[in-house]
Amino acid sequence: MYSSQQAQQLEKLSKEFLKNNATVSQLETLRDVLRFHEYRYYVVSDPLISDTEYDLLYKQLEALEHAHPERITKDSPTQRVGSTLNASFPTVQHLVPMLSLDNSYNEEDLRDFDRKARENTGLDIIEYCVEPKFDGASISLVYENDELSRGVTRGDGVEGEEITMNIKQVRSIPLSAKFSEYNIQLAEIRGEVLMSKKSFKKYNEMMEAEGLPVLANPRNAASGSLRIKDPKLVAKRNLEAFLYHVSYFTLLENKNINDEKQHAGENGTGNQMPFTTHSESLQMLWNLGFRSPEKEKKILQGIDAVINHCKTFEAKRDDLPYEIDGMVIKVNNLALQDQLGMTSHHPRWAIAFKFKARQGTTILTGVEFNVGRTGAVTPVAKLEPVYIGGVTVSSISMHNEDYIKEKDLRIGDTVLVERAGDVIPQIVKSLPELRTGNEKVIEYPRQCPVCNSNLFKEADEAVWRCINIECEAQVIEKMIHFVSKDAMDIKHFGAANVMKFYELQLLKDIPSIYTLDFDKISGMEGFGKKSIDNLKAAIEDSKQQPLYRLVFALGIRYVGETTAKTLANAVKDIFELEKMDIETLQSLEDVGIKVATSVYGFFQNDDNKKMIHQLQALGLNMQNTKKQQAARSNTLEGQAFLFTGTLHQLKRSDAEAMVEQRGGKIVSGVSSKLNYLVVGEDAGSKLEKAKKINTVRIITEDEFLAMVKE
Which residues contact ligand IVH (rule: CB under 6 A)? 99-101, 131, 133-134, 138, 190, 192, 244-245, 328, 347, 350, 352
- Give the residue numbers annotated as catalytic, written as ranges: 133
Question: Cα dihedral sign for 699, 705, 708, 710?
Answer: negative
CA–CA separation, 528 and 526 (whole Å): 6
**CB-CB contact of 195 with 237 (8 Å):** yes
Q: What is the largest CA-CA distance in the chain?
A: 88
Residue 220 vs 272, nearer CB to ligand IVH: 220
Question: Cα dihedral sign for 557, 558, 561, 566?
Answer: negative
CA–CA separation, 65 and 63 (whole Å): 5
Residue 102 vs 561, nearer CB to ligand IVH: 102
The conformation of residue 351, written as its DSSP 8-state character, comes to E
CB of 540 to ligand IVH, least distance (A): 50
CB of 299 to ligand IVH, least distance (A): 14
CB of 246 to ligand IVH, least distance (A): 10
Secondary structure (DSSP) of 618-638: TT---B-GGG-GGG---TTTT
Would you put residue 625 in left (φ > 0), alpha (ψ -120 to 50) or beta? alpha
**CB-CB contact of 681 with 651 (8 Å):** no
CB of 170 to ligand IVH, least distance (A): 15
Residue 347 vs 663, nearer CB to ligand IVH: 347
> Which value, in Å, is the radius of gyration of the alpha carbons in the chain?
28
Q: At what angle do helices 652-661 and 51-67 cross, to 10 degrees?
A: 80
Residue 189 vs 659, nearer CB to ligand IVH: 189
CB of 98 to ligand IVH, least distance (A): 6
The conformation of residue 183, written as its DSSP 8-state character, comes to T
Q: Which residues on adjacent β-strands are paired with residue 666?
A: 641
Would you put residue 29 in left (φ > 0), alpha (ψ -120 to 50) or beta? alpha
CA–CA separation, 520 and 540 (whole Å): 18
CA–CA separation, 221 and 575 (whole Å): 38
Residue 192 vs 701, nearer CB to ligand IVH: 192
**CB-CB contact of 614 with 620 (8 Å):** no
Burial of 513 from C-beta contacts in 10 A (0-12 / 13-18 / 19+): buried
CA proximity to 289, closest of 79, 143, 165: 143
CB of 102 to ligand IVH, least distance (A): 8
CB of 341 to ligand IVH, least distance (A): 12
Residue 353 vs 493, nearer CB to ligand IVH: 353
Residue 193 vs 564, nearer CB to ligand IVH: 193
CB of 214 to ligand IVH, least distance (A): 24
Q: Where are the beta strands (DSSP E) in 307-434?
A: 324-331, 350-354, 359-371, 377-388, 391-397, 410-411, 414-418, 426-430
Residue 182 vs 349, nearer CB to ligand IVH: 349
Would you put residue 39 in left (φ > 0), alpha (ψ -120 to 50) or beta? alpha
**CB-CB contact of 307 with 298 (8 Å):** no
Q: If you count DSSP H runs as helices and E runs as strands, how many of each does the chain have, helices first?
A: 25, 24
Residue 334 vs 636, nearer CB to ligand IVH: 334
**CB-CB contact of 249 with 263 (8 Å):** yes
Residue 192 vs 413, nearer CB to ligand IVH: 192
**CB-CB contact of 30 with 57 (8 Å):** yes
CB of 157 to ligand IVH, least distance (A): 8
CB of 101 to ligand IVH, least distance (A): 4
Residue 348 vs 410, nearer CB to ligand IVH: 348
Residue type for 542, please?
S
Residue type for 466, please?
C
CB of 288 to ligand IVH, least distance (A): 17
Residue 101 vs 273, nearer CB to ligand IVH: 101
Order across the sheet with 391-397: list the strands: 391-397, 377-388, 359-371, 414-418, 426-430
Burial of 581 from C-beta contacts in 10 A (0-12 / 13-18 / 19+): exposed
CB of 202 to ligand IVH, least distance (A): 24
CA proximity to 429, closest of 381, 387, 376: 381
